[in-house]
Amino acid sequence: AWHGLAPPSFAAPPMSQPAAPAVHAATAGPKGYCKCWLPDAIFSSGQDLVELIAGPGGAHFQHVLKKYPMVELKVEGQNSTAAPPAHRLHVVMCSEDSEIFESAAADVLDLVETVCDMVGEELGLSEEQVEELIQGIRAEKYFEAHGIRTPLPPVRARASAAAAAAAPMAVEEPGVPQATADGDFE
């Protein structure tokens, strides 16, 4: 249904074979990678997980690529818990543009979290169980240059961000230094 319009990066590789590595010149600059593995419970879904991720006709990927045209997006891995964890279904985003890398990585994580929401609904999970499913997303970020990987801090998790927002404000105690909004102490 692509009618020849979709870039090849939208197509998921055959699930029985590892994906072919992206072809880039050895002299290419550093490239950031964000990989988000789906939690194991997702694999009990009866839906086409690759289509859930990429969207009908690749619509979800097209949305991300419209916002970040310089990133590459693809789905790799096997749709099975029988595969070793590193070879299970995951989304890969890569970019040579360090300016947009973090926000593109956050959007990819949001996309994977949304897939967890949809599968949780399909499986009749409670809100708490869906949050546990989302916490099961394994994300990895790193920059690679000249064959050397430099790990980056993990992608923020939605539940921990929500928990931080819902956390009660610190109670000010007399005589105890308090941090101000800019990080100084009073």
CA distance 145 to 147: 5
Residue 176's contacts (CB-CB under 8 Å, 6 or more residues apart) are none
| Higher pLDDT, residue 12 or 40 | 40
In sequence order, the 6+-apart residues with CB closer than 8 A to the CB of 32 are 94, 95, 96, 98, 101, 105, 141, 142, 143, 152
Predicted confidence band of residue 153 (pLDDT cuts 50, 70, 90)? confident
Write the pLDDT tens digit of every residue in 69-122: 999 999 999 999 999 999 999 999 999 999 999 999 999 999 999 999 999 999
Q: What is the pTM of this model?
A: 0.69
**Confidence grade of residue 126 (pLDDT, cut at 50, 70, 90):** very high
pLDDT above 60 (res 35): yes
